[in-house]
Amino acid sequence: MWSLINHLVSPRKFYSLSSKIHPWLTVLFLLVFSYGVIGGLLLAPADYLQGDGFRIIYVHAPAAFLSLFIFTIMAGAAICGLVFQLKQAFLVIKHSASLGAGFTLLALITGSLWGKPMWGTFWIWDARLSSELILFFIYLGVLLLQSALSQKRMAEKTIAIFILIGFVDIPIIHYSVYWWNTLHQGDTLKLFSPSAIDSSMLYPLLAMIAAFLLYYALILFMRMRYELLTTNHHWLRN
């Protein structure tokens, strides 16, 4: 079993598989993303209260979801790296951090652009906004550690432990709207109960979330392949 897992996550296997699926992922991303953008800007009807201003949800909610999702992937990779000593796990962390920081910043900027016309202000020290800002600083911390620590093995372990400590912020972000009185609305999409959004507005939103997930996979694989071809090319040899 262990040898099978080891075989599947081996750099050579990953490189050949990711090279093969890359064009298919690109086409799928472009299709889903196009539907999401057209659906968000044109097909979905305007909200009865927020008018066309609600269309920012199609950028803001998927970006916020990705900011949490990528950090969860990084925490999983940190455990795999620390416990199972998987070399690939540290590569996932290295190349996910800047993408996660980018999605978090995008969520904060688009949230501000949505907040101004709806709340009358670009920023407020609300629990959800503040905890998301803390996540952005945690991402910056990971990036700073990556550039500051020169000894590779020590840097990888330090960053993995830092990520696991920072993971405390993820449930705080998610439950902040329930634990405190916040200006930010509750969850639009619920996993185990019907969503509070009409299907004509829901499908473009789901498409944008799927598109962002595909985009994350595409860019992560592209960066990891580049790293395998340059600094870690010996991993690809027999």
Partner 1 sequence: MDAYGWYVYSAYGCMMIFLVSQWLIPWRRLQQLREKNHEQDS
Interface with partner 1 includes 28 (CB under 8 A)? no
Give whichever of 66 and 160 is closer to partner 1, judged by the CB atom. 66
Interface with partner 1 includes 60 (CB under 8 A)? yes
Interface with partner 1 includes 109 (CB under 8 A)? yes
The whole-angstrom separation of Cα 100 and Cα 191 is 22
Q: Which stretch binds partner 1 (CB under 8 A): 5-13, 109-117, 124-132, 194-202?
A: 109-117
Residues contacting partner 1: total by CB under 8 A: 30
Residue choice 167, 174, 223, 236 for contact with partner 1 (CB under 8 A): 223
Spell out the long-range contacts of 107-113 with Cβ–Cβ below 8 A and sequence spacing 24 or more.
Answer: 107/60, 107/63, 107/64, 107/66, 107/67, 107/132, 108/132, 108/133, 108/136, 110/56, 110/59, 110/60, 110/63, 111/60, 111/64, 113/56
The whole-angstrom separation of Cα 70 and Cα 194 is 25
Give the binding site for partner 1 (CB under 8 A). Answer: 37, 41, 51-53, 55-56, 59-60, 63, 99, 102-103, 105-106, 109-110, 113-114, 116-117, 215, 218-219, 222-223, 225-226, 229-230
